[in-house]
Amino acid sequence: MAEFPDTRISLIIRLGEASDVQAWQEFAEIYAPALLGLARRRGLQPADAEDVTQEILFGVARAVQRFQPDQNRAMFRTWLSRIAHNLIHDFCEGRRRRPAAHAISDSWLEKATQAGESASHDDFDEELRASILRLAAKRVQERVAPKTWNAFEQTAIQNRTAEWVSQEFGMTVGSVYVARCRVMSMLRNDVQQLLADCQVTPADSNAEEGLQ
């Protein structure tokens, strides 16, 4: 059974320990796809988007020890978004002379985390919500029987009728509805937990719209 990552504050604290591989894996599992999506949204080709995403993660590794979670809990997504937007902007502007990832300076990081106070971070939040929904679906799929997931996928995503699914997978119509409801409930719970971990409030999020 896949476990949830630590609450975002404890995970941020653990990121300060470079040797904590599990913390970085948990962090990257949620945030790397969102950062990659942000880079692609800005028009970067897949290989370039991958490179920039790695640079962003490296920048976070360099700067996270200076982040004060107790004082800035609500600001972590904004802090990360600033680093991402500035690195992507540098790349798009053709500033090839910028330092390589392994040589990003402390002064550059300081500027990157402070710049763009008035900039909108909605695009990053949208990518983060999409990443959360994909991760929740992956985790739920790992916890249920294949037939249960197929019944949900075919009815909720592919818009097949319960009658069609019952014949295709050898289930009763009632069991198809039960499977769909069970998976929907699990998805909602996982999404809500991940939203809380990432400091995205359900009231501000569209992540659950895909579960309707």
Give the CATH number for residue 164.
1.10.10
Clarify whether residues 95 and 17 are in a common domain.
yes
Domain presence at residue 127 = no
Q: Are residues 30 and 87 in the same domain?
A: yes
Structural domain containing residue 65:
8-119
pLDDT of residue 7: 41
Which tops the pLDDT comparison, 1 or 207? 207
Q: Is residue 48, in this structure, part of any structural domain at all?
A: yes
95-109, 140-154, 164-178: lowest mean pLDDT where? 95-109
Number of domains within the chain: 2
What is the pLDDT at residue 123? 85
What is the distance of C-alpha 20 from the center of its chain? 20
- 103 inside domain: yes
Q: Global pTM? A: 0.71
Cα–Cα distance list, 112 to 130, 132, 200 (Å): 25, 25, 22
The residues, any chain, with a CB within 8 Å of residue 198's CB and separated by 6 or more, are: 8, 30, 77, 128, 132
**What CATH number is associated with residue 42?**
1.10.1740.10
| Domain C-terminal end among 56, 88, 119 | 119
Nearest one of 105, 66, 58, 114 to 86, comparing CA atoms: 114
Residue 148 has pLDDT above 80, yes or no: yes
State the DSSP code for 94: T
Residue of 206, 212, 208, 210 whose CA lies nearest to 189: 208
Least confident of 38-52, 77-91, 178-192: 77-91
- 12 and 87 in a single domain? The answer is yes
Q: How far apart are CA 87 and CA 93, in angstroms?
A: 10
Identify the top-confidence range among 67-71, 113-117, 128-132, 200-204.
128-132
CA dist 187 and 136 (Å) reads 6
Same domain, yes or no: 54 and 141: no
Quote the pLDDT of residue 4.
Answer: 36
Q: What is the mean pLDDT of residues 25-37?
A: 88
Exposure class string for 143-165: b at 16+ Cβ within 10 A, else e? ebeeebbbbbbbbbeeebebeeb
Q: Give CA angle at 30 (202, 178), nearest 5°.
A: 60
Q: What is the mean pLDDT of residues 45-50?
A: 90
Q: Span 36-64, mean pLDDT? A: 86
